[in-house]
Chains A and B, each alone.
Chain A
Amino acid sequence: EAGVTQFPSHSVIEKGQTVTLRCDPISGHDNLYWYRRVMGKEIKFLLHFVKESKQDESGMPNNRFLAERTGGTYSTLKVQPAELEDSGVYFCASSGDRGPYEQYFGPGTRLTVT
């Protein structure tokens, strides 16, 4: 069974540019989450999809971040325009739809905004 995949693994962009991160969850997982870890701090929740619907986006820092999950499969997270404080590692995770299933994480995308 393939795990959660994320693309790209690294991205270096200039302040003001746009970046789009992609996440492919484990096949059959309805729940998809985005988290990020900034400057070695704790991993913080950004948002949660159930299929194609945003279930909880309380962690999104501001309206420069836009997440989509068209068709309930892969998800994208767009940052536009990027700011220096957006640098960090963005993790995607997925889980099944019953019980307190553990979330399976992808390898992360390391975003550097210069």
Chain B
Amino acid sequence: AQSVAQPEDQVNVAEGNPLTVKCTYSVSGNPYLFWYVQYPNRGLQFLLKYITGDNLVKGSYGFEAEFNKSQTSFHLKKPSALVSDSALYFCAVRDSISSGSARQLTFGSGTQLTVLP
């Protein structure tokens, strides 16, 4: 079974400072990893994904994430936080060996990011 852990329910950071939202995962095979963001009263919006290749992946709005296989982590980062980044962030995983019948994503519980002005 696959699982995702987001150890922090809440992350607060000052505007202009770097931010990190943590995610660790567990899958049987190689992981496909995703980050989604949910702004207030909006749906989930895709930010970035790791499939294979370079461990550092870049996504929308200046976000990036680093895949670390040995630590089974996929932390979301941004060098300089904006107040508008305040939102709920979800990490998700899918096993790469799953067949077409098992493409479901497994999500973490979410991390509320608040960027303080």
Determine the main DSSP class of A at the interface with B: strand
* Chain A residue at smallest Cβ distance from B43: A107
CB-CB under 8 A from A99, the residues of chain B are 51
The distance from the CB of B105 to the nearest CB of chain A, in whole angstroms, is: 6
Number of B residues near A (Cβ < 8 Å) is 26
Q: Known contacts being A41-B109, A42-B107, A42-B110, is A56 close to B102, with CB within 8 Å? A: yes
Asked whether A48 lies within 8 Å of B34 as measured between CB atoms, the reply is no
Interface flags for B74-114 (1: CB within 8 Å of A; 0: not) read 00000000000000001010101000111111111110000
Interface flags for B19-42 (1: CB within 8 Å of A; 0: not) read 000000000000010101000001
* Most interface-central of B34, B36, B102, B103 (chain A CB within 10 A): B103
Report how far A49 CA is from B90 CA in the complex, Å: 23
Query: B34, B36, B43, B100: which contacts A55 (Cβ < 8 A)?
Result: B100
CB-CB under 8 A from A6, the residues of chain B are 43
* Chain A residue at smallest Cβ distance from B48: A102
- A contact set with B: CB distance below 8 Å: 4, 6, 31, 33, 35, 40-45, 48, 50, 55-56, 58-59, 91, 93, 95, 99-100, 102-108
- B contact set with A: CB distance below 8 Å: 4, 32, 34, 36, 42-46, 49, 51, 90, 92, 94, 96, 100-110
